[in-house]
């Protein structure tokens, strides 16, 4: 064997040894991967690797065997019933609203002199009831206590006068059903951004679902992409379809598609969330007017709910006026009444618009929306 032959033999042997080692390493690595696979009983398809493992080599030309992924059943929540929402209304307002307690303390004093009546007036004004209703309430209460004297309990009289002020005769039913021809009711949600419009749309869908109604939501707030995202999340939680378009789409076209879907699928109610940019009244009127017109090519809008933030006081009233001039508002939703000492805004805004408060927002939780009833509201105020 000459020198050249010897070198060739050594080189071949070295390649074989090194190659075998690398092959062994690859196999070991793959096996390790293989051992870390979830067991057959595992249902977590997300972590299941797509490559075939070494233990199950794929046959050339044959389709790799794939296990069809079973879609995980969505977890549909069961929203709270209307009755227990009213209990919550009582708890939330009684716990946070100083108005009722302050009034009751003042009325409990032995002698109701001018100073006490002035303090009562101040409390009512601080709670945003408004000047004229405050005067009405104080006058009514003073007269009753003078005329009926010891025969009337001041607290019972206050309760009755407050209920009168909130107006128990207004029709507060939500028009969520369509006409007899089977068309869905259409609820249009309007209001300035940040008042809780999208949240309220989601909460309202939950109330309707809890009453076994079929609902479609329309994300016509196309100005802010996150609003559609937010609404989709609300819808998914209660198994409600949400119709949306790309960011910047004409809100009227999303509203149209939502109502069309509602008609095609035979739902009971379509709720359309809109963008509340208050750029100027003319712009707002154009946009809301168009949304309404386009919907009504298919079926009438049965309810226009104006969402107002109870903590914004006079500012809220100005917004309310602008919106009611842009579109015929049929009901008010007062949000963020929890933790607000401004419960009196209920009276002020109803007077301002001549439209009833129909729903109240009592927190950020999914079921923190309750139908408004004057008696329950006043009882909650008085604690």
Ligand X SMILES: Nc1nc2c(ncn2[C@@H]2O[C@H](COP(=O)(O)OP(=O)(O)OP(=O)(O)O)[C@@H](O)[C@H]2O)c(=O)[nH]1
Q: Could you say whether residue 364 binds ligand X (CB under 6 A)?
A: yes
**Known binding-site positions for GTP:** 191-198, 273-277, 335-338
Task: Name which of residues 165 to 194 contact ligand X (CB under 6 A).
Answer: 191, 193-194
188: nearest Cα among 215, 233, 218:
218
Q: Considering the rule CB under 6 A, would residue 370 count as an interface residue with ligand X?
A: no
Token couple for 35: 């051992």
In whole angstroms, how close is the CB of 181 to ligand X at the nearest point?
32
Whether residue 314 contacts residue 69, with contact meaning beta carbons closer than 8 Å, is answered with no
Pick out residues in 127-166 that bind ligand X (CB under 6 A). none
Binding-site members are 191-198, 273-277, 335-338
Per CB under 6 A, the list member of 221, 241, 367, 379 interacting with ligand X is 221
Size of the site for ligand X (CB under 6 A): 20
Give the torsion sign (CA, 186, 350, 99, 160).
Answer: negative
Element housing 202 (H / E): helix 197-210
Please, what is the minimum distance in Å from the beta carbon of residue 196 to ligand X?
A: 3
Q: Is 76 helix (H, G, I), strand (E, B) or coil?
A: coil
- Report the Cα 245 to chain-centroid distance in Å: 19
Interacting residue with ligand X among 363, 366, 371, 383 (CB under 6 A): 363
Residue-wise over 297-306: b if at least 16 C-beta within 10 A, else e? ebbebbbbbb
Pairing of strands 369-371, 357-361: antiparallel
Residue bearing tokens 């329309």: 218
Binding range to ligand X, per CB under 6 A, among 73-81, 147-155, 172-180, 359-367: 359-367
Q: In the complex with ligand X, which residue's Cβ is closer, 183 or 270?
A: 270
Taking CB under 6 A as the rule, does residue 97 contact ligand X? no
Q: Are 267 and 258 in contact (CB under 8 A)?
A: no
Q: Which is nearer to ligand X, 199 or 350 (CB)?
A: 199
Distances (CA, A) of 369 to 220, 233, 320, 338: 21, 17, 20, 11
| Of the residues 323, 335, 353, 381, which one makes contact with ligand X according to CB under 6 A | 335
Residue 199 is a binding residue for ligand X (CB under 6 A)? yes
Does position 204 interact with ligand X (CB under 6 A)? The reply is no
Instruction: Verify binding: residue 88, ligand X, rule CB under 6 A.
Output: no
CA of 366: how far to CAs of 168, 200, 204, 362, in Å?
Answer: 27, 9, 9, 10
Phi, psi of 360 (to 5 degrees): -130, 140
Strand partners, 335: 309
Please say which residue, 191 or 316, places its beta carbon nearer to ligand X. Answer: 191
Among 97, 198, 222, 350, binds ligand X (CB under 6 A): 198
Residues numbered 270-289 forming contacts with ligand X, rule: CB under 6 A:
276
Residue 301 structure tokens: 């809008």
239 binds ligand X (CB under 6 A): no
247 near ligand X (CB under 6 A): no
Beta bridge partners of 190: 306
Q: Point out which residues bind ligand X (CB under 6 A).
A: 191, 193-199, 221, 224, 227, 276, 335-336, 338, 361-364, 368
């Amino acid at each position: 064997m000459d020198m050249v032959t010897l070198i060739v033999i050594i080189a071949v042997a070295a390649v074989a040894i090194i190659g075998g080692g690398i092959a062994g390493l690859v196999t070991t690595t793959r096996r390790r991967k293989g051992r870390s696979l979830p067991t057959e009983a595992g249902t977590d398809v997300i972590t299941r690797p797509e490559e075939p493992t070494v233990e199950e080599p794929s046959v050339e030309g044959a389709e790799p065997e794939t296990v069809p992924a079973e879609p995980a059943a969505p977890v549909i929540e069961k929203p709270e019933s209307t009755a227990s929402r009213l209990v919550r209304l009582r708890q939330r307002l009684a716990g946070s609203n100083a108005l009722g307690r302050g009034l009751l303390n003042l009325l409990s004093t032995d002698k109701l002199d001018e100073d006490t009546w002035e303090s009562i007036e101040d409390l009512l004004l601080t709670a945003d009831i408004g000047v004229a209703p405050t005067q009405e309430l104080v006058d009514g209460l003073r007269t009753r206590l003078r005329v009926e004297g010891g025969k009337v309990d001041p607290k019972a009289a206050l309760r009755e006068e407050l209920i009168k002020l909130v107006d128990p005769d207004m029709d507060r039913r939500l028009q969520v059903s369509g006409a007899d021809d089977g068309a869905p009711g259409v609820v249009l949600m309007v209001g300035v951004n940040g008042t809780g419009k999208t949240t309220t749309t989601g909460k309202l869908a939950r109330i309707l679902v809890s009453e076994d109604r079929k609902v479609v939501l329309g994300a016509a707030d196309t100005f802010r992409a996150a609003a559609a995202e937010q609404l989709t999340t609300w819808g998914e939680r209660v198994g409600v379809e949400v119709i949306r378009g790309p960011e910047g789409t004409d809100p009227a076209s999303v509203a149209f598609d939502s109502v069309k879907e509602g008609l095609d699928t035979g739902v009971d109610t379509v709720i359309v969330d809109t963008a509340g940019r208050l750029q100027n009244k003319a712009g707002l009127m154009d946009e809301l007017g168009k949304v309404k017109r386009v919907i009504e090519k298919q079926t009438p809008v049965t309810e226009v709910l104006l969402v107002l933030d109870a903590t914004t006081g006079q500012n809220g009233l100005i917004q309310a006026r602008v919106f009611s001039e842009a579109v015929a508002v049929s009901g008010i939703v007062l949000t963020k009444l929890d933790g607000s000492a401004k419960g009196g805004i209920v009276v002020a805004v109803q007077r301002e618009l001549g439209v009833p408060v129909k729903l109240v927002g009592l927190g950020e939780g999914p079921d923190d929306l309750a139908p408004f009833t004057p008696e329950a509201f006043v009882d909650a105020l008085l604690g």
